[in-house]
Structure 1
Amino acid sequence: MYRLLKSAPQVFMEYVKDFSRYLKYSGTLDGTPAQNLLARITATYHNIEKGLSLPQPRLGFGKENLGNLIEAIHKYQRLYGPSHPVLSSAIEVLATYASYHETHDYPDYPCKREILKMLAARPRHPAQMGGTRLVTRERIMQAVSPVSEQFFLQRHSIRAFSDREVDLADIEAAIRVAQKSPVVCNRQSGAVHVIADPELIQAALDLQMGARGFSHAVNKLLVVTVDLRNFWQAGERNQGWMDGGMFAMSLIYGLHLRGLGSCCLNWSKTNRQTQQMRELLGLQQWESIIMLIAVGHIPEQVVVPFSSRKDPLLVTRVITKWQK
């Protein structure tokens, strides 16, 4: 009872603050701010992309999504201007939709007049911005064949780094890998704040409090965040943590691919501590901190925790026959 009375009010207040912040910055109550509107456009055009990528797309599919997408594009252009990369991607998806139906002798597809009018006014881009593309199994297998299980098994949390400087180009390459992470409806909410200043690295690590004993050796510190404005409604209240976690793991494997050592530093903090970190790093209020990642070059020899893993059978459940 003592523990309940001591802990419950604080936990409750943290949830209240999370609730208030989510309502304020997500698109739940108001979908017209620029980033909220772009997120809805992205989610809607990606629904059409997914339909086009099915083995046999149903002709005339997606009437509601098409109408919502066209309306949202017009709204953004009216409020914020005629062009944006997200709009270019959306309009190219519409072009792919129109082309698919024309080539399958289905000229009376939904929203045809509005789509053709939008396509006639679009600027031309040399590179593909949206739609679909054909890939072969051979090409995928060629990419994965050099990678073995050892690539994953030999990634360790490194807490001792050499004094060699980490090239920002290697971090940028790792971020490109992270950007291929699966995300909800292609909204790409993950971001990386790269800290290169030694004093700021130390200040951030002092606030995180999980790098004692090796903070002085951290060459670059990455702060992974997600943009709360890209989500809406009750069902997506935790989606940022899911998308951000996958983005962070892909970033870590991208660093591993470049031969860099890294150590994940959790951000299990209160709203007050999170606000202190936002102020320290100049983060926006809608940015949720997922984790910090210490980065450096791996020395010739390094001691790492054994970190025994559970037997796969203990975490695997196979359902072979379902009974209603």
Structure 2
Amino acid sequence: MSEDKSLSKRLLGAGHVPTLRKKLARSIYYVPTIVAEAVRDAKHYLTHSGTLNVSPIGQLSARITQTYHNIEKGLSLPAPRPRFGAVHLANLIDYMRTYRELYEDGPELRSARDVLAAYAAFHDSIGVDDYPYKRSIGELVAEIPSSESQMGGLRKVYKRDILAATQGTDENFFLHRHSIRKFTEEDVDLGLIETAIKVAQKAPAVCNRQSGFVHVITDKKLIEAALKLQGGARGFAEGVNKVAVVTTDTRSFSHITERNQGWIDGGLFAMSFLYGLHMNGLGTCCLNWSKTNAQSDAMRKLIGANPWESIIMLVAIGHLQDEFEVPFSIRKDPASISRVIADWSESA
């Protein structure tokens, strides 16, 4: 038998290798790559987020949404404090005026206008006449056209409506979602996917910034190319009817504290999208995007995504067969992945 002279064998040896030797070899091999990828991650975030620049429309729209939502949250409290939110109001007014100078009009601007109107109405209702920035608020509310329907502020929600909407839904809805790799040849109506996207839009998003986006691929050759680049659909790619590429908009975030927020919001958005597809009786298979920056660049180029989009995952979509097999995929005992904190003291 010939001697194996591969680099890995020479570095690591065979059989039981001393731990220190393994760590050293792996450090030499992996650390430079990890550092290089981290640098590119940081460059992507600084280039496209609102950390360094808030003037481009994507970053400015996100700042407006984030700031007016802080006012909305204050108005929705059980007992809003009179004259609250002076700092947020100052920032919002500044962002709105900048937006008007650069882009004139947009949905975020009209939402912010309605929030300012609600803020003024709240103070009028409690007889407070000297709230912060009253004059500027009045000017913006008067100058910015209102929409036919309300776009910001508060709306009343009733418990009976929530209970009626969720009646008949139990854990079985969620427990019967599987990763499916066998589909029929029936074409998936884009209307069903659009409904699922509408469901995904209700996923929690930091300060309501709604960074999620879905690229729906219907072209068979592009589906093949996208799945080949992802690499996890071998053996069933030819049966996939549609592919969705879920992304988040990096422009929606800012500062070092939000550097990972896109992945959190993107994951919530993607999961809600999956449940929307499941609600419509469609089968799905999540295809993770744990790739290098170069591979992300390649996917963005392939599907025509914007450079500020971060790829969360791909989703293979198709109609369910009458009968099929899925991996058993046993789940952990809920007690093993949770704990109850019933008695706590700061000194403990």
TM tier relative to shorter chain: over 0.9
Hey, what does 2:17 align to over in structure 1?
A: none
- Deviation per CA, 1:75-125: give whole Å up to 9, x if none: 1111222x1000000010001111111011112111111111111122131
Shift of 1:263: 0.4
SS of equivalent residue, structure 2 residue 33: helix
2:158 and 2:54 map into 1 onto residues whose CA distance is: 39
SS of equivalent residue, structure 2 residue 138: helix
Larger radius of gyration: 2
The answer as to whether partners of 2:188 and 2:319 remain within 8 angstroms in 1 is yes
User: Structure 2 matches for 1:189-208, cutoff 5 A?
Assistant: 189-208=211-230
1:123 and 1:78 map into 2 onto residues whose CA distance is: 15
Could you tell me which of 158, 164, 169 is aligned with 1:147? 169
AA partner of residue 35 (structure 2)? F
Matched, 1:31 2:48: no
Could you tell me which of 181, 191, 195 is aligned with 1:173? 195
Hey, what does 1:125 align to over in structure 2?
A: 147
- Deviation per CA, 1:224-246: give whole Å up to 9, x if none: 00011111110000000000000
1:64 and 1:2 map into 2 onto residues whose CA distance is: 53
Could you tell me which of 250, 270, 277 is aligned with 2:292? 270
Could you tell me which of 32, 48, 51 is aligned with 2:74? 51
- Deviation per CA, 1:199-223: give whole Å up to 9, x if none: 1000000010100111000000000
Hey, what does 1:101 align to over in structure 2?
A: 123
2:49 and 2:99 map into 1 onto residues whose CA distance is: 17
Shift of 1:33: 1.2
Question: Identity of aligned pairs, percent?
Answer: 55
Hey, what does 1:13 align to over in structure 2?
A: 36
- TM-score between the two structures when normalised by the length of structure 1: 0.98
SS of equivalent residue, structure 1 residue 70: helix
- TM-score between the two structures when normalised by the length of structure 2: 0.92
1:144 and 1:171 map into 2 onto residues whose CA distance is: 21
2:309 and 2:83 map into 1 onto residues whose CA distance is: 39
Shift of 1:319: 0.8
User: Structure 2 matches for 1:176-255, cutoff 5 A?
Assistant: 176-255=198-277
User: Alignment length, in residue pairs?
Assistant: 323
Shift of 1:31: 1.3
Consecutive unaligned residues in structure 1, runs of 5 or more: none
2:319 and 2:239 map into 1 onto residues whose CA distance is: 10
Hey, what does 1:287 align to over in structure 2?
A: 309
2:298 and 2:30 map into 1 onto residues whose CA distance is: 22
The answer as to whether partners of 2:96 and 2:109 remain within 8 angstroms in 1 is yes
SS of equivalent residue, structure 1 residue 263: strand
SS of equivalent residue, structure 2 residue 186: coil
Hey, what does 1:321 align to over in structure 2?
A: 343
Root-mean-square deviation (Å): 0.7
Consecutive unaligned residues in structure 2, runs of 5 or more: 1-23
Detail structure 1 runs of 4+ shifted over 3 Å in the superposition. Answer: none
SS of equivalent residue, structure 1 residue 39: helix
AA partner of residue 134 (structure 1)? K
The answer as to whether partners of 2:110 and 2:146 remain within 8 angstroms in 1 is no
2:200 and 2:275 map into 1 onto residues whose CA distance is: 8
AA partner of residue 142 (structure 1)? A
Could you tell me which of 61, 77, 84 is aligned with 2:84? 61
AA partner of residue 97 (structure 2)? H
The answer as to whether partners of 2:113 and 2:146 remain within 8 angstroms in 1 is no
